[in-house]
Amino acid sequence: MSPDEFRAHGHELVEWIARYLETVRDRAVLPEVNPGEVIDALPAQGPEQGEPFSQILEDFNDTILPGSTLWNHPRFFSYFAVSSTPPSMLAEFLSAALNQNGILWKSGPALTELEQVVLGWIREWIHLPEDFFGIIYDSASNSTLHALIAARQSVSPRTRQEGALQNLMVYTSGQAHSSVEKDALALGFGEANIRKIAHDAEFRLSLPDLEAALEADVKAGKIPCCIVPTIGATPTASIDPVVDMIALARRYGCWAHIDAAYAGPVALLDEKSWIFQGWEQADSIVLNPHKWMFVNVDTSVLYIRRKDQLSDAIGLTPEYLKTKADPRMINYMDYSISLGRRFRALKLWMTLRYYGREGIADLIRSHIEMAGRLKDQIAADPRFEVVAPVHFGLVCFRMKDSNEKNQKLMDTLNASGFAFLSHTVQNGQYVLRFSIGNWMTTQQDVEQTWERIQKVAAEL
């Protein structure tokens, strides 16, 4: 593609995106598409000859867009709602043009140093001390995987030479995200060595149960390796007793890793600082800027106190990547399973600079306020009940009716395309999750969706 052609198509695409942002509210959040439909609409064989970009764009409009769930829609209230803001989109454009690969400092000096700078800003904003080293991975699942690698290295330093011990234990809540268990499985801890602790009435991990499990395991010759509290657990955004869990980790000589993938960015808000008090005593913390800091997927940050535990466990430098050491030089490959590294810091940098700390905090605050108002409206309707405390942007509620009716309510709403909610099952009850986190969401979006929910409920 010549520079002139690129210029023309580039302008066209920027225009496409601007128009998309202007009109996305009128589109269906969930596509009306059946499994296999996108595959059937596309040729099974790749093109022998190149095709005009205008034709490719036409097929994007006709096939890819109608087959896409619109995560960047102001009434996407499913899972944990996330956003891609314009500065983040523009940064991705630039990042693709530079095509950096930050294996080593030398292979991407600006990438490596910008990652440290921008993660230093966030670290200060969320009140973590400077001895937390920051690193970006693609997902919270991957961040937690690396935290568990470091945890295992710290508790069992001979793992690298001799392989993993079979009696190392991981503790988390039954409400924790499945990535904790999946990561532990991938590392070979074994299902029998992953304890999913019960929770209390507010969906917080039960400390007495955790303590009892630790005590019993130690008596049985097991070795506690890692305790994982969550701030903002996936089903109801509950908050585990972080400080007490870290204290137990200290008492039993194991690692404490906090999963704050969703709610971590809320630490920017002074009025919410009580939630994060004491979290700086953890060994590692994950938070996802791609969840609630308005950059597009894939941006997850791990803050880790002893990064040497990672390099001790998985650091490996083949001859062709050896470079002269320098005290100011970091080679991110020493702390990561993947060798290559995208320039994710660029979109973080551009987005944080565009909004500033206050702008990001104001957006998050507006989502939390919308969730608070929605909670009050739901609580005021005698047909419904709110089933979990609302600390963040998530409201969990249900009709005071059967599970089938609640599922029908959600399916009917989602099928309308107007909004998209997800669900959880808690204490045997089907619960609807209304998650507010998109930068375009307005109070009107929330109210109109709540009105639709009420209307559907009346019709059921």
List the structure tokens of 42.
Answer: 């596309």
Our CB check for ligand PLP shows the closer of 230 and 449 to be 230
CB nearer to ligand PLP: give 187 or 261.
Answer: 261
* Number of neighbouring beta carbons within 10 Å of residue 128: 19
Other beta carbons within 10 Å of 177: 23
Cα distance between residue 209 and residue 444, in whole Å: 43
CB neighbourhood size of 31 (10 A): 16
Within a 13 Å sphere around the CA of 57, how many CA atoms are in the beta-carbon half?
13
**Region binding ligand PLP by CB under 6 A among candidate stretches 58-66, 213-221, 228-236, 405-413:** 228-236
Ordered strands of the 284-287 beta sheet: 133-137, 300-304, 284-287, 255-259, 223-228, 168-173, 194-197
Residues 6+ apart with CB under 8 A from 246: 227, 229, 256, 278, 281, 282
Among 63, 68, 101, 139, binds ligand PLP (CB under 6 A): 139
Distance, CA of 69 to CA of 420 (rounded, Å): 9
288 contacts ligand PLP (rule: CB under 6 A):
yes
Residue 358 has a CB neighbour count (10 Å cut-off) of 10
Of 156 and 236, the one with the shorter C-beta distance to ligand PLP is 236
Question: How many other CB atoms are found less than 10 A from the CB of residue 215?
Answer: 11
Q: Is the Cβ of residue 262 or residue 335 nearer to ligand PLP in the bound state?
A: 262
What is the smallest separation between the CB atom of 139 and ligand PLP, expressed in angstroms? 3
Question: Cβ closer to ligand PLP: 195 or 222?
Answer: 195
Which of these, 82, 71, 286, lies nearest to 179 by C-alpha position? 286
CA distance 437 to 414: 18
Q: Which is nearer to ligand PLP, 63 or 424 (CB)?
A: 424
DSSP 211-233: HHHHHHHHHTT-EEEEEE-BBS-
Tokens representing 452?
């639709």
Q: Which residue has the tokens 């600390």?
A: 391
Shortest CB 126 distance to ligand PLP, Å: 16
Let me know how long the chain is. Answer: 460
Nearer to ligand PLP, 233 or 330 (CB): 233
Q: Which is nearer to ligand PLP, 156 or 299 (CB)?
A: 299
Largest CA distance in the chain: 72
> Cβ 178 to ligand PLP, closest distance in Å?
8
Q: Which region among 137-145, 195-203, 248-256, 421-429 touches ligand PLP (by CB under 6 A)? A: 137-145
Residue 141 in contact with ligand PLP, rule: CB under 6 A? yes
Work out how close the CB of 109 gets to ligand PLP at its nearest, in angstroms, rounded to a whole number: 27
Interface with ligand PLP by CB under 6 A: which range of 45-53, 136-144, 213-221, 314-322? Answer: 136-144
Q: How far apart are CA 350 and CA 356, in angstroms?
A: 10
The nearer residue to ligand PLP, 102 or 264, going by C-beta atoms, is 264
- The region of 122-130, 134-142, 266-274, 411-419 touching ligand PLP under the rule CB under 6 A is 134-142
Out of 140, 210, 374, 395, name the contact with ligand PLP by CB under 6 A: 140
Size of the site for ligand PLP (CB under 6 A): 16
**420 binding ligand PLP? (CB under 6 A):** no
**From the list 115, 183, 259, 280, which residue makes contact with ligand PLP (rule: CB under 6 A)?**
259
Q: How far apart are CA 358 and CA 312, in angstroms?
A: 38
Cα angle 177-284-151, degrees, rounded to a multiple of 5: 85
Lay out the site mask for ligand PLP across 229-258 (x = CB under 6 A, - = otherwise): -x-xxx------------------------
- Interface with ligand PLP (CB under 6 A), residue from 73, 75, 123, 177: 177
Sheet holding 394-399, edge to edge: 76-77, 420-426, 429-435, 394-399, 384-386
Which of 28, 30, 72, 80 lies at the binding interface for ligand PLP (CB under 6 A)?
80
Between 345 and 457, name the residue whose CB sits nearer to ligand PLP.
Answer: 345
- The span from the CA of 119 to the CA of 330, in Å, is 14
* Site membership for ligand PLP, residue 76 (CB under 6 A): no
- Kindly state whether residue 351 participates in binding ligand PLP, applying the rule CB under 6 A: no
Contact residue for ligand PLP among 261, 387, 390, 431 (CB under 6 A): 261
Q: Tell the smallest beta-carbon distance from residue 137 to ligand PLP (Å).
A: 9
The residues that touch ligand PLP, with contacts defined as CB under 6 A, are: 79-80, 139-141, 177, 179, 230, 232-234, 259, 261-262, 288, 300
